[in-house]
Amino acid sequence: MSTLSDLVSRHSDLGPADVEWLHLLVGDWQLISDLAFADLVLWLPTRTGDYVAVAQARPSTGATVHYDDIVGSSAPDGQRPQLERALDEVRIQRSREPRWFGTYAVREEAVPVVHGGRPIAVVARQTNLGGARTPSRLELNYVESADDLVAMISRGEFPSPNAPTGPRRGAPRVGDGLIRLNSEGEVLYASPNALSCFHRFGVLGSLVGRSLAEVTTELLEESTTMDESLPLVVMGRAPWRTDVEARGVCLSLRAVPLTEHGQRVGAVLLCRDVSELRRRERELITKDATIREIHHRVKNNLQTVAALLRLQARRMTSAEAREALFEAMRRVTTIAQVHETLSQALDETVDFDTLVDRSLRLAADVASAGASVRTVRTGTFGMVPAEDATALALVLTELVTNAVEHGFAGGRTGTVEIIAERTGSHLRSVVADDGVGLPADATGPMTGLGTQIVGTLIRNELRGRIDWTARPGGGTQVVLEVDLRERKLGRDGV
């Protein structure tokens, strides 16, 4: 399905500011749809004099009119005159008689969308009358609030450009609780769900006729950290969202100021009890901090082990034993660097490029024993899951060390290049050097401890394959191909 921007650019010549205004409207009009118990369709006048639907919203509080998506379709002939009058007169047009959609009647209203003092589109408000009954007090207040908001659309006062655009967990919706305020911040009406929210917060009795700011302030504890925007929200002065917490209860509040020709005449306040949601978020934050602390302590312990191996190696008289201990120290240090990176991350993934640049350069310097061998990385490894990071880091460290020790023996100089090609979860990595190359009688990789470790990790941990071949132009190249574990989704689904 085409996006709103695509449809607008295809059918009209609206400028970027007008398109952004339509995006703001569509991003916030679910509130109006729920309050009005009505479908909303955004009709855009086209260059050819037609009207095309570029966005659509269905109410969660009542029966829908359009069971199928109509975005991208043209306005029916019976509806077009009403849309044209709304656009020409810049005034809300209400049909005298309902229009029939098959077996049910629909009450229609056309609202001009005004931006910068001129109409740029029309919102059709369509209410399914199939289940019509005597409205309750709650429904009457819902519809009155919706009427105020659509009138603001026709005057270019809604949506508010100052409203927050970033998502926030626990944002309240109409059914969670609604409060109507007058211009002084006094409660005109509170829905049953809203009253329940504030009763759990500690409010006794009815809210009607009371200043919501005073009621909320009385319940806040002296030691409570208060959001600076709270007074503006509870008085309905700013189109913001905030949380208020006291006595173990947390309410999410969102204010939608109501204006008339620039003068604030009241506000709609949505509220939701998010106590359990905030408690779970705090638990997750605590768990994240605990996991990072564990990685930090593991890193410290591994560095201690590496230091002990270094001390022991220096006391060895056997050159072979001393070299074996230094190699063990290098491997432990590589694992420690993975845990250090994990201790600084917010999730269980590793920025492998940073890790590779640091650890492989160190491995080459140690293995070259004073010779001038440089390492170059090409491409990107990206974010690697923690389950694969340790094994992959060890494999690459062993391959670079092996390339330096065998390819540049005797003080030769040269370059070791690490090439990374990442496609989704598939990783192809090449470790190539311009050293002496493989022995003439070699039929595969060497059989030393390092290559045995590499083979075991490739088969058992990374579930991949590895090939040693001669590098064109001289030297050796090792090609590693693995399918990394899929990255787990975060708490927000990303």
| Rounded Cα gap, residues 489 and 494, in angstroms | 5
Residue 272: strand, helix, or coil: strand
| Rounded Cα gap, residues 203 and 393, in angstroms | 58
| Rounded Cα gap, residues 401 and 396, in angstroms | 8
CATH number of the structural domain spanning residue 178: 3.30.450.20
User: Residue 225 CB: number of other CB atoms within 10 A?
Assistant: 7
Q: Are residues 362 and 470 in the same domain?
A: yes
Q: Are residues 282 and 261 in the same domain?
A: no
Half-sphere exposure of 488 (CA within 13 A, CB side): 11
Does the residue 169 lie in any domain?
Answer: no
In this structure, what token pair is assigned to residue 166?
């970033």
CATH number of the structural domain spanning residue 9: 3.30.450.280
Q: Are residues 333 and 358 in the same domain?
A: no
Backbone angles phi, psi at 135, to 5 degrees: -70, 145
Does the residue 163 lie in any domain?
Answer: no
CA 461 distance to own-chain centroid: 31
User: Residue 259 CB: number of other CB atoms within 10 A?
Assistant: 18
Does the residue 194 lie in any domain?
Answer: yes
Q: Are residues 253 and 290 in the same domain?
A: no
Domain C-terminal end among 273, 307, 332: 273
Domain region containing 430: 347-494
Domain count of the fold of the chain: 4
Q: Are residues 256 and 293 in the same domain?
A: no
Does the residue 238 lie in any domain?
Answer: yes
Q: Are residues 293 and 351 in the same domain?
A: no
Q: Are residues 336 and 358 in the same domain?
A: no
Does the residue 34 lie in any domain?
Answer: yes
Q: Are residues 30 and 141 in the same domain?
A: yes
| Rounded Cα gap, residues 199 and 193, in angstroms | 10
Does the residue 110 lie in any domain?
Answer: yes
| Rounded Cα gap, residues 82 and 362, in angstroms | 74
Domain C-terminal end among 123, 155, 187: 155
Q: Among residues 387, 393, 326, which one has the least CA distance to residue 358? A: 393
CATH number of the structural domain spanning residue 450: 3.30.565.10
Q: Are residues 287 and 268 in the same domain?
A: no
Does the residue 165 lie in any domain?
Answer: no
Q: Are residues 263 and 315 in the same domain?
A: no
Domain C-terminal end among 344, 366, 399: 344
Q: Are residues 263 and 351 in the same domain?
A: no
Residue-level pLDDT, tens digit, the chain, 494 residues: 468 999 999 999 999 999 999 999 999 999 999 999 999 999 999 999 999 999 999 999 989 999 899 999 999 988 999 999 999 999 999 988 888 887 889 999 999 999 999 999 999 999 998 876 678 999 999 999 999 999 999 999 999 877 765 555 567 999 999 999 999 999 999 999 999 999 998 888 899 999 999 998 888 865 566 677 888 999 999 999 888 888 888 899 999 999 999 899 999 999 999 988 888 877 877 777 777 788 788 888 888 888 888 888 888 888 888 878 877 887 788 788 778 877 776 667 888 888 887 777 666 665 555 567 778 888 999 888 888 888 888 888 888 888 877 777 766 778 888 899 998 889 999 988 888 777 665 545 555 777 788 888 888 888 889 988 888 878 888 899 999 887 543 433 33
Q: Are residues 252 and 323 in the same domain?
A: no
In this structure, what token pair is assigned to residue 258?
């109501």
Does the residue 291 lie in any domain?
Answer: yes
